[in-house]
């Protein structure tokens, strides 16, 4: 399996090359040259397969030339060592909890898979690699945890000052060792632009070996298809058409789910639920893609005005807008609506949703207004305690701290302030 640049002006790359490069030399995102197909028997028998076996069969076609079977199985055993519970909310709605990993966010799966893949690629190597990543919230903590202590790898995380939650900031600024946090005077989009610029900067080429751990990296992005497959396995017996509502910021998570669908997963539809950063909802209404500066919201991990992975979704459907509309709907919601959803879910069920999950719930309910025959799953992408101030004030209740969070609350924050790309370049060169 090779991967090509969506800018179509760079050589094809193997999985290993695509992971190490992060982004193609022409600045494009890598995309698999073909989408492998599961045999029909895979889904006929999926309820009898372990999650580890499902994960192996899903990822093996993408990586088999570069990661031996035994190594891939070992990586997956270590990555998938926590649960992905499906919690019923009502007769036709469940939530998929993706926050039971070490940093309590869905990005633990992709970040750990990428870290272990790079660990294998650089085993016994004298080369050093710098992982450069922008975060709007949870990516930074997941990447920092996944790469902590990995030999030969330095991690540099850019995050927007004052625009991530206190717990999110602690998760990426308190680890030390090979992890450095750069606090950017700007938005997530500013952070992301700096990262992309570094990859094509001739002043860095040959002097600093860079890769990215955002969902633009194929090793971060593709493993996210796994929990969609796990969910289908557990809900197949319901006999209803499944739809997934995914809180969406950079659109890597929902794109991975749509890859699983193209591989043969029997799912009816995907809903991209966003906050007021509504570039994609407007595109789905007008067929015009008009990115804009991001707006800060209480669901900060989705504060993205120009989502990188949407170009992959368009490629998946050959840039055919009508075909894409058959598989994807997208709606945006305000902070006020998000808080009302948190209250409503709690009042009806006692379930505490985080702001991102609440946006996913709203997107699902909107879709089911006209598709009541579907069974819907909205993704809870982070533990509500990570957004303690918002959730506690909205519900007028207190949340107890899980052990993963408690252990970082008294650690000292260490970060370096930067304001422009030249600051990042100077740091990387030094």
The answer to whether residues 99 and 355 touch, using CB atoms and an 8 Å cutoff, is no
- Residue 17, in any domain of the structure: yes
For the chain, the residue count is 430
16 CB contacts (<8 Å, ≥6 apart)?
Answer: 66, 121
Beta strand residue intervals within 91-126, DSSP E: 93-97
- Residue 75, in any domain of the structure: no
- CATH code of the domain covering residue 32: 3.40.50.1100
Confidence (pLDDT) at 339: 97
- Residue 405, in any domain of the structure: no
106 CB contacts (<8 Å, ≥6 apart)?
Answer: 98, 99, 138, 224, 227, 253, 379, 381, 382
- Residue 404, in any domain of the structure: no
Angle between helices 226-235 and 252-262 (to 10 degrees): 60
Residue 123 a catalytic site member:
no
Q: Is 410 exposed, middle or buried (0-12, 13-18, 19+ CB in 10 A)?
A: exposed
Measure Cα distances from 30 to 24, 130, 161 in Å: 6, 19, 29
Q: Are residues 160 and 267 in the same domain?
A: no
Confidence (pLDDT) at 94: 97
Q: Are residues 20 and 33 in the same domain?
A: yes
Q: Are residues 351 and 377 in the same domain?
A: yes
Q: Are residues 119 and 99 in the same domain?
A: no
Q: Are residues 155 and 91 in the same domain?
A: no
The H or E element spanning position 118 is: helix 108-121
Q: Are residues 11 and 51 in the same domain?
A: yes
Confidence (pLDDT) at 164: 84
Locate all alpha helices (DSSP H) within 306-395, ordered by sequence: 310-316, 321-327, 335-349, 355-368, 388-395
Going 184 to 189 to 195 to 199, the CA torsion angle's sign is negative
Q: Are residues 175 and 311 in the same domain?
A: no
| Angstrom distance (rounded) from CA 353 to CA 258 | 24
Angle between helices 51-63 and 69-79 (to 10 degrees): 130
- Residue 77, in any domain of the structure: no
Please tell me which residue in 8, 12, 107, 282 is annotated as part of the active site: 107
Closest CA to 142 of 117, 93, 175: 175
Q: How far is CA 54 from the centre of its chain?
A: 20
Q: Are residues 167 and 182 in the same domain?
A: yes
Range of the domain at 419: 2-70+107-220+411-429
Going 378 to 379 to 385 to 387, the CA torsion angle's sign is negative
Split into its structural domains, the chain has a count of 2
Q: Are residues 139 and 159 in the same domain?
A: yes
Q: Are residues 163 and 283 in the same domain?
A: no
Confidence (pLDDT) at 97: 97
Q: pTM for this structure?
A: 0.89
Per-residue pLDDT of the chain (430 residues; tens, 9 = 90+): 999 999 999 999 999 999 988 889 998 999 999 999 999 899 999 999 999 999 999 999 999 999 999 999 999 999 999 999 999 999 999 999 999 998 888 989 998 999 899 889 888 777 788 888 888 776 777 888 888 888 778 899 999 998 888 888 888 888 888 889 999 999 888 998 999 899 888 988 888 888 887 788 999 999 999 999 999 999 988 777 899 999 999 999 999 999 999 999 999 999 999 999 999 999 999 999 999 988 989 998 899 999 999 999 999 999 999 999 999 999 999 999 999 999 999 999 999 999 999 999 999 999 999 999 899 999 999 999 888 889 999 999 888 887 777 777 778 888 889 999 999 999 999 8
Q: Are residues 284 and 179 in the same domain?
A: no
Q: Are residues 96 and 111 in the same domain?
A: no
């Amino acid at each position: 399996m090779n991967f090509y640049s969506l800018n179509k002006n760079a050589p094809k790359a193997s999985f290993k090359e695509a992971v190490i490069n992060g982004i193609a030399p022409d600045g494009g995102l890598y995309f698999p040259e073909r989408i492998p197909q599961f045999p029909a028997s895979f889904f006929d028998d999926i309820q009898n397969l372990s999650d580890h076996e499902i994960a192996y069969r899903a990822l093996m076609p993408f990586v088999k030339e570069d990661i031996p079977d035994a190594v891939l199985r070992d990586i997956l055993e270590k990555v998938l060592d926590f649960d992905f519970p499906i919690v019923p909310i009502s007769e036709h709605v469940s939530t998929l909890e993706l926050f039971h990993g070490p940093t309590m966010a869905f990005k633990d799966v992709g970040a750990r898979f990428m870290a272990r893949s790079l660990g294998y690629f650089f085993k016994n190597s004298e080369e050093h690699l710098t992982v450069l990543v922008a975060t709007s919230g949870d990516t930074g903590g997941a990447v920092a945890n996944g790469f902590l202590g990995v030999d030969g790898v330095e991690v540099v995380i850019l995050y927007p000052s004052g625009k991530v939650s206190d717990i999110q900031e602690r998760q990426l600024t308190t680890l030390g060792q090979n992890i450095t946090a750069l606090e950017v005077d700007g938005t997530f989009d500013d952070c992301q632009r700096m990262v992309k610029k570094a990859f094509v900067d001739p002043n860095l080429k040959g002097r600093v070996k860079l890769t990215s751990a955002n969902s633009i990296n194929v090793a971060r992005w593709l493993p996210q298809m796994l929990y969609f497959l796990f969910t289908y396995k557990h809900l197949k017996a319901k006999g209803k058409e499944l739809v997934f509502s995914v809180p969406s910021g950079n659109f890597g998570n929902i794109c991975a789910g749509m890859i699983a669908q193209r591989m043969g997963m029997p799912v009816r539809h995907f809903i991209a639920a966003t906050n007021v950063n509504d570039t994609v909802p407007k595109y789905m209404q007008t067929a015009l893609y008009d990115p804009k500066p991001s707006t800060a919201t209480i669901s900060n991990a989705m504060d993205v005005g120009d989502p990188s992975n949407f170009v992959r979704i368009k490629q998946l459907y050959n840039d055919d807008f009508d075909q894409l509309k058959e598989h994807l709907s997208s709606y945006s919601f305000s902070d006020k609506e998000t808080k009302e959803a948190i209250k409503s879910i709690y009042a009806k069920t006692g379930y505490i949703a985080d702001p991102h999950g609440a946006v996913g719930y709203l997107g699902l309910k909107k879709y089911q207004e006209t598709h009541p025959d579907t069974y819907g799953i909205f993704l809870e992408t982070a533990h509500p305690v990570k957004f303690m101030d918002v959730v506690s004030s909205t519900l007028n209740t207190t949340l107890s701290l899980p052990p993963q969070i408690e252990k970082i609350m008294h650690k000292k924050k260490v970060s370096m302030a930067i304001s422009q790309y030249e600051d990042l370049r100077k740091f990387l060169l030094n």
